[in-house]
Amino acid sequence: MKKNLLIFVLGAAVIIALDQITKSAVMARFSLHETLMVIPGLFNLVYVMNPGAAFGFLADASPTFRYVFFIGVTITAAGLIVYYLVKSNPRNLLLAGSLTLIFGGAVGNLIDRIRFGAVVDFLDVYLGASHWPAFNVADSAITVGAVLMIWEMLRNRKSKPTPAT
């Protein structure tokens, strides 16, 4: 368990650092809403501040409500992730890795919410005129972690014998 906890802390620290370094670089080099075309028709770098969550969830809510809500939810989720990690099988590296990614991403975005009241997004993937909402390293870590966790749950479910009826 101690080894998993050390890997968890170091892995989350790397994700948080990458997230914050990339966001700082974008903020230092771009004006708000400025866009740099990287791969025409597919990928831009863009500097936006997202006051909501995924797909602009709660973007129109009052700033005070958003601040309290998102910080409270993130701190609660982070606590549950640590609890789940401590209670899980220490040999389940896929689960530990998924929790590390989700935790690191959540803390990366939490730092933005505390500092700015919004999250810095800068990765803009699109096809023609259809844009996916801009996102960041933290969002990517959370998404990959969630996919890995679902995969682990499905894999675990298949390996358990079904009860006889």
**Tens-digit pLDDT profile for residues 44-59:** 999 999 987 776 677 7
pLDDT of res. 62: 82
Structure tokens at 109: 């975005």
Active site residue 139: yes
Structure-token match 């409500």, residue found: 65
Per residue in 74-104, pLDDT (tens digit) is 999 999 999 999 998 888 889 999 999 999 9
Name which of 80, 57, 83 is nearest 69 in CA terms: 57
- Is residue 30 over pLDDT 70? yes
Active site residue 112: no
Please name the amino acid found at residue 128.
G
Q: Domain extents for the chain?
A: 2-158
**pLDDT band with cut points at 50, 70 and 90 for residue 134:** very high
More confident residue, 66 or 102: 102
- Contact call for residues 95 and 149 (beta carbons, < 8 A): yes
pLDDT of res. 70: 87
Q: Which of 19, 112, 121, 124 is catalytic?
A: 121
Non-local CB neighbours of 4 within 8 Å, separated by 6+ positions: 85, 90, 93, 96
Kindly report the pTM of this predicted structure: 0.87
Per residue in 11-26, pLDDT (tens digit) is 999 999 999 999 999 9
Q: Which of 19, 112, 124, 139 is catalytic?
A: 139
